[in-house]
Chains A and B, each alone.
Chain A
Amino acid sequence: MANYFNTLPLREQLAQLAQCRFMHTAEFADGVEALKGKKMVVIGCGAQGLNQGLNLRDSGLDVSYALRPEAIEQKRQSWKNASENGFVVGTYEELIPTADVVLNLTPDKQHTSVVNTVMPLMKEGACLSYSHGFNIVEEGMKIRDDLTVIMVAPKCPGSEVRAEYVRGFGVPTLIAVHEDNDPKGEGLALAKAYAVGTGGHKAGVLMSSFIAEVKSDLMGEQTILCGMLQTGSLLCFDKMIEEGIDPGYASRLIQYGWETVTEALKYGGVTNMLDRLSNPAKIKAFDLSEELKDIMRPLYNKHQDDIMSGHFSKTMMEDWANDDANLLKWRAETAETNFEKTPAGDVEISEQEFFDNGILMVAMVKAGVELAFETMTAAGIIAESAYYESLHETPLIANTIARKKLYEMNATISDTAEYGCYLYNHACVPLLAGFMKGIKSDVIGKGLSLDDNGVDNARLIEVNTALRSHPVEAVGSVLRGYMADMKKIV
């Protein structure tokens, strides 16, 4: 199988990358009608499989689970997930032939083997759906011509997909139809109904392409979302220890700090996150982030280039073939880092203190979000897509670190994201070594502690203008505006 993206002419590549449109609520007026009475069979009952299935069933759709035989025989967690929730569970042979829609929600790494196994069992003219396009785009999986292939990709971890639905809302979702596999022209109708069934239409749906989804998703998760937070955690922690700050405090400041500062991001973008700082601290954070952006820009470009060329997926697939040797080694290394091994101390840190004493963390988030966004859009990815894959998802990943540090983050994200995260981290830590030498506890751990909060007017105006005029802020305020009345969970 060849990398699908690389088989396309440049013109087509650019056209696919640029596919992204925010859909209007009115486009979902038909609700789940296109899927009513159809049999939806989910393969895999993990984070996405279970939670999407629960939502779809609660939206009145017919959902059952086809699991691999060993999962059923050994009554694995996936089997428990499905059966304790009252779903019909069966083997591929029992359920796939009856399915009108097969939802492939197994790990990306398994897609080739899973799809090769189930495809012959699928009935003529059925639909195969994905929540991530890696298999189609990077592995070039060819799907039988009579089958419709769609993607419905919630831009959130599975637990959020469920939690938001139960609140009466949903998570932003990206849908796409694989143009090579839309024999009956019903792909879009099915994808829309599926998005309604998961509640995604309430939070905003982007009509995109498999290619745009994959190339932007990979870029975001490797760089700002997981990579930057991992690198930032390790560097900030070690610096604080070097500066003599209590390890328990340092550990807490980082573990919960990402969540707290990116919460501000969720409400009002980078601008609001920096507005939470005092004026001198804001200017400091701005300067640091400019410096960080200059240093890291080549790294972001390299990630995007490797993703576009297929080099990233090629090397990762080599690691898959090598029994995940690198992934497992890097995972073990992460567990041995000082930050990971130091439990958060039993100290009270107020919400504002996370900002005041975490200026460098704010600067890192700003630099990462803006760089990822700039790099993606420069590579032809549309701003809306780039926004969701950078700024929008950052708080969600930060939440996982608050729960159980980097271990939890890496356990929650996909193997692909985890692999990319380690790649980024390995390059970024040495890259920032010189920069970190100049860092003192005033920007990480202690705060500026100035007697006078005065700043130069002209400089402040300059910084504020730069913040507010960054393109990620423009598209962000529009997309957040779609959720205008919605007030998010704190």
Chain B
Amino acid sequence: MTRQRPFFVQFLVPAVLVAVIFAAAMFNVLKYSFLEFVPGSLNVGGFTLENFTRINRPIYYWVLLDTFILSFATAFFALLLSYPISFALVRAERNWVRSVLVVLAITPLFTGEIVRTYSWMLVLGSDGVVNTALKSLGVIDRSVPIMYTRVGVVIALVQFAMPVMIILLATAISQINRDCEKAAANLGATPNTVFWWVTIPLTLPGILSGFVVVFAWTMSAFSTPQLIGGGKVLMISNVVYLQGFSSFNLPFAAVLSLVALFAALGSLALMKLLTARLEQNMATS
């Protein structure tokens, strides 16, 4: 192998470096999780298992569950909103329509997370765009709270996740053998039936991988729930932050991080299993 690719080893150096540093950091997190917390000090004490027993409290289960639910909801709504956009992106007959959609879909990737989150605060606030508009339309007469609610957090997270979702879905949609859709129509299927019985199933691998990626990504969301949730909506990263940088309980923050990591890995593995079976079934020879 290396003889055929003389640069192979050199090319691996950066990746190996990153991996080593990351592994070292993870090792430290692991180490901290077994060390005693000394209140009022950044230093830690000796070996203990107490950090792990401390997590066995309803509040942390609720945060974990909340994180799951918010991530799931984000992935779900991002999927729902992205699919039509991806579809139009791939299938639009006119080039300019495609170009406009690409720009609209992708540019959010290039604005920073904080900037985007602040924009959402302006939009969702009690005097924000949404409330003002709804009020002037007479739909509501008092501002409805969106800021500092789960709904608000999910809205911002969905928008944050959509570019990635759109790219993944568009890839899947562009890889469909369109003759399959033509064949279905030819056999008498209405456009509606073709979409639900052929197009959607054929893009299912893309749908699942988009869902999994956004889900895992949102599991580690921090600044969006921090700013839009304003302490009222807590995801696991926010609790890690509270423990680590408000209470300076680094050992417990480490334990929470590990829990979050394994929760994410576990759900990823589960979904991977699902997709693997699906892809195996869908593979054409």
**A, B co-complexed:** no
A interface residue numbers (CB < 8 A to B): none
